[in-house]
Structure 1
Amino acid sequence: MTAAELPRIATPRVAAGVLFFDDEGHVLLVRPTYKPHWDIPGGYVEPGESPRAACIREVEEELGLTVDVGPMLVVDWAPADREGDKLLFIFDGGHLGKDRQNRITFQDGELAEWRFVATDNLNDHVPARLTRRIRTAVSARQKGQPAYAEHGSEPN
């Protein structure tokens, strides 16, 4: 079989982010300088890089923190109209205490601000599908079992 005869396969963009929690269980959000809404720390996976390694790299590049992320909480199949197929991973960053919060420094100019937000208030900061993805990840963390999602929610 030649390359031309092979069936078409998906070639999704892959991104990875992390959820950090404060003492009240609120989630760390960051405000990028290049888009109109808040996000979680993370970014796209580079060629040859694992999603976990990309997550660790992005946290260091964006926040100046060296972290060892915990388990994967959710993988989300989330194609976007202008970007095509996407696989989005969220990892557990665990508790981010005051000492580590005080060490946050914006390294690369991509971020302007950070804050902890209650999951009930996510809609005020992030798009609906990211709200769903974060809530799915928080639920997976509480259950102690990773989740699979499509457009942010677990399929029925």
Structure 2
Amino acid sequence: MVDWVAPHGPWDDSLMFVFDGGVLGDGQVASLRILDQEIHAFRFCSSEEAATMLRPYVWNRLDQAIAAIRDGRSRYLHTTTEPNPDR
């Protein structure tokens, strides 16, 4: 899924990409290691949990990506800020 974000504040326009990375097996999850000092921790969560933790525009982008995976279709969004009424 691709979301084009219009210029805003001090930032130029940008493209946000969300990829389906597939499903990790237990061994793959156990072998995950944080190698970047900018990242303190990670965890897996349900989409319901993600909706409560993310900023609304970030959650909507993720929600659209989940819908694209479910529908088997690519999506190209324009400055996603509001929830999609079709979801």
Q: TM tier, shorter chain?
A: 0.7 to 0.9
Residue number in structure 2 paired with 1:135? 63
User: How far did 1:78 drift?
Assistant: 1.7
Moved over 6 A (4+): none
User: How far did 1:151 drift?
Assistant: 2.7
- Contact 1:76 1:148 (C-alpha < 8 Å) held by counterparts: yes
- Superposed CA RMSD in Å reads 1.9
Gap change, CA 1:120 and 1:151, over 3 Å in 2: farther
Aligned to 1:108, the other structure's residue is in SS state: coil
Percent identical among aligned pairs is 26
* 1:96 corresponds to which of 5, 8, 24: 24
Residue number in structure 2 paired with 1:115? 43
Comparing both structures, which one devotes a greater share of its residues to helix?
Answer: 2
Residue number in structure 1 paired with 2:52? 124
User: How far did 1:81 drift?
Assistant: 2.2
Whole-Å separation in 2 of the counterparts to 1:101 and 1:81: 38
Paired residues, what number? 82
Ranges in structure 2 where 5+ consecutive residues have no aligned partner: none
Gap change, CA 1:100 and 1:113, over 3 Å in 2: same
Whole-Å separation in 1 of the counterparts to 2:10 and 2:54: 18
Residue number in structure 1 paired with 2:11? 83
Normalised to the residue count of structure 2, the TM-score between the two structures is 0.80
Comparing both structures, which one devotes a greater share of its residues to strand?
Answer: 1
Larger Rg: 1
Aligned to 1:95, the other structure's residue is in SS state: coil
Gap change, CA 1:123 and 1:82, over 3 Å in 2: farther
